[in-house]
Each structure stands twice: as structure tokens, then as C-alpha cells.
Amino acid sequence: MSLQKKLALSTIFIMMLLCFAFVSQKPTRILYKEHLKKEEIVNRVTSLVRVENENLNDNELRTIAKIVYDESLKKKLDYRLVLAIMKVESNFRYSAISRKGARGLLQVKPSLAKYIAHDVGVHWKDDTTLDEPEKNIKIGVHVFSKLVEDFDSINMALHAYHVGPTKLKEIVAEKKIPQKRYLNLVLNEYDRNKSILPPP
């Protein structure tokens, strides 16, 4: 093989190595940027929730912030909307229990939660399972994401989250307009979150 051919092959080989090195570095840089973005969002959400609920310690605040962000991302929801629902539903109190028995941060009914817990990787013990922030958020975000799919609308999904999907279908079938108080509370909170928190 001539010297010219050897040089040409060597050059091609070096170029391929450089291309491979560049391509293999790109995912690492992207992952690092995503990690920084997540950390910034978690820190900002932690600060926001701390202002709303001073009774939570730093560990609890960061756990809530991380799970809200991760679960929302997984279900293709804006974490700022999930935070808005949480604020309206429980004012960030993980021990909240409604008159109708809904529990926790996202006020999920145990009768519904126990049937879907396994689907979202939550071990169901009893109703107090919903008092644990991580489990409550996983189940609540899953429920809301399914409502968004079923009703094909954030507004209608919020109505359904508030009154229940069966009740909402009855209201619509009777050609009535759902009450907007809950919807407006959540959307106002969502607008506020969008003005102070970075996009997902």
C-alpha cells in the first residue's frame, strides 16, 4: 500500500474517531443541562412551597418539589399547573382531609386511589397511603393526566378533577355549564406560577 493511501486511511480513521468522540459527548452535555434545569426548578419550587407552608422541613419541601417535577414531566403536564391544583386542593398540606374523604396534597379519594396505586408503582396499605407526599403526588398526577386524555381539554379535566368525571358527564349531558369557581382558582394560581417559575 502506498504512503498516500496509508495517509488517506489514517486521516479517515482519525476523522471517524473525532466524530465519535463529539457525538458521544453530546448526550452527556444535554443530560447535564437537563440536570441543571431540574435543580433550578426544584430549588425555586422548594422556595415557593416554603412560603405557602412553613410547617414543612427542607427534606419534605425538596421531596415534594422533585416528585411534582418528575411526575409532571413523565405525564407530559406542566409542573406549574400541578402545583396550582395542589395549592387550591390542600394549600400544600399533606395531612389535609376533605369532608368527602379526599386526602393529601392533591386530595385524592381513597376509593379511587387503591384501584390505580399498583399501576403507578405505589404499594397500597390503607387510606393513610395518601398522606405520604410521594405516593399522593404519583397517584394524583396520574389521575389528572388520564382526565386530560379523556376530556381532551385542561379546563374540562380540571372540572372533572373537582366534581368527578361521572358528575361532569351528567352536567354536560344535561346541557348545563359547570361552575367556574374552582376552575378560576386553579387557572389564576397557574398564571401566577407561570409568572414566577421557569417553563418545564
What's the pLDDT band for 7 if we cut at 50, 70, 90? low
**Where do the domains of the chain lie, and which CATH numbers do they carry?**
3-196 (1.10.530.10)
- Mean pLDDT (the chain) is 89
121: alpha, beta or left, given left = phi > 0 and alpha = psi -120 to 50? left
pLDDT digits (tens, 9 = 90+) for 95-147: 999 999 999 999 999 999 999 999 999 999 999 999 999 999 999 999 999 99
Per cent of the chain over pLDDT 90 is: 76
Are residues 142 and 119 in contact, defined by beta-carbon separation less than 8 angstroms? yes
pLDDT digits (tens, 9 = 90+) for 156-196: 999 999 999 999 999 999 999 999 999 999 999 999 999 99
Q: Rounded mean pLDDT of 91-97?
A: 93
pLDDT of residue 56: 84
Q: Helix, strand or coil for residue 103?
A: strand
Lowest mean pLDDT among 24-33, 49-58, 126-135, 139-148: 24-33
- How many H helices and E strands in the chain? 8, 0
